Amino acid sequence: MVAVEKGLKNVNIVDIDGTLIVRFRSEGSVIDVVPTYLNCNNWDFDFAQLGVFLSEHVDKNFVVVGDFNVRIGLEQDFSDTPEINMGNFALNRCSRDKELNSHGKRFLELLSDTGLVVLNGRSPSDVDGHFTFVSHQGASVCDLICASMEVLPCLADFSVLKENFSDHMPVTFSVPTSFSESAMPLLPRLRWYPRFAVKYKNQLRDAVPGIIDRADGDVDIWAISIVNTIRNLASHTDKGDKLNAKNPWYDWECERARRKSMCLLGLHRDTGSDMVRADYVLANHAYKAVVLRKRREFFDGLSTKFKEVRDREYNVRVSVRL
């Protein structure tokens, strides 16, 4: 599925030879994002299709994104060619997944032939090369973002998000943009509770040194860090009496289970421990089980209430007739 958020200017879905891509403009360059999935049960065919598509459009600036079902270890090191303009990305890659398999070798050859660079493990937000797949089967880096060499100076960052709705973690890349290139909808408002003012100011003061260290003289990174820090601190201090949930069955029991799962996921990202991974998988299964149970109980309750209303209405009608 390919989708574009409403309100974004200069971002469109385009069909190229039957393949849907997302096309946008950054720093004056046209970039085509290609969502990709190489099915492990049909890998050779899917891989061949991808190879044909990329080779037939070598003139385009591609960012290929998806689950490639490959293990590429620490490969694709450009340390021997420091003259390459990598933008914000490092010449060498880091990865918590050190394994290189046969599919990975073939995939790396395709990247070399088409001039694509793996962003995982070489960006400011993914210096360690975090796992993108975490389950009871193990952990690996199989979800990748690969960009044309010419595109790298147009990209700002790459990151692996912490989410527990799937065994696969979302991978993201960011691009700098100007006010003229994007529509500016109303900015989201952070809820503010005056009783948390002291706590918020103390946390913000403690976070400032880290913001300065991460910025490293780059004004854009500094601004992004400040905004993200304010948003994170506000969400942590926003502890009103009401749980702001999208679904009526999602309560504090669900939220506590989610937080436990996310905490273990973050710990696994930091340590790479198999024991922590196993604990995360159990916690994530428990979280999903709680949500499913709450959802079922909610709709069962609605069904019971509707039945009571129908029975009450029937009794009233019978009474009137009598």
Co-location of 161 and 21 in the same domain: yes
CB 285 within 8 A of CB 264: no
- Name residue 316's amino acid: V
CB 37 within 8 A of CB 44: no
Q: 64 and 154, same structural domain? A: yes
pLDDT for 238: 47
187 lies in a domain? no
Residues 144 and 43 in one domain: yes
322 within some domain = yes
* pLDDT attached to residue 2: 62
Q: What is the reported pTM?
A: 0.64
The answer to the question of residue 165 being in a domain is yes
Q: Are 258 and 287 in contact (CB under 8 A)?
A: yes
* Structural domains of the chain, count: 3
Per-residue model confidence as pLDDT tens digits over 65-120: 999 999 999 999 999 888 889 999 999 999 999 999 999 999 999 999 999 999 99
**What's residue 199's pLDDT?**
76
pLDDT on residue 1: 59
Tell me, yes or no, whether 17 lies in a domain.
yes
**233 and 252 share a domain?**
no
Same domain, 235 and 251: no
**What per-residue confidence (pLDDT) applies to 187?**
47
27 and 111 share one domain: yes
Residue 5 belongs to a domain: no
Q: Which domain holds residue 111?
A: 11-181
Write down the pLDDT at residue 45.
94
- 253 and 292 both lie in a single domain: yes
Same domain, 290 and 175: no
Residue 68 to residue 11: CA distance in whole angstroms: 25
CATH code for the domain in which residue 79 is found: 3.60.10.10
51 with 92, same domain: the answer is yes
| 129 and 22 in a common domain | yes
**CA geometry: angle at 89 spanning 134 and 128, to 5°?**
35
Q: Examine the fold and report which residue of 160, 181, 202 is the final residue of a domain before the chain moves on.
A: 181
CA angle at 79 for the pair 73 and 81, rounded to the nearest 5°: 130
Q: What is the pLDDT of residue 184?
A: 42
Q: 188 in a domain, yes or no? A: no
Q: Do residues 30 and 140 share a domain?
A: yes
Burial class (CB in 10 A: 0-12, 13-18, 19+), 60: middle
Q: What is the pLDDT of residue 213?
A: 65
**Structural domain includes residue 153:** yes
Q: Is residue 4 part of a domain?
A: no
Low-confidence residues in the chain, pLDDT < 50: 179-187, 238-241, 318, 322
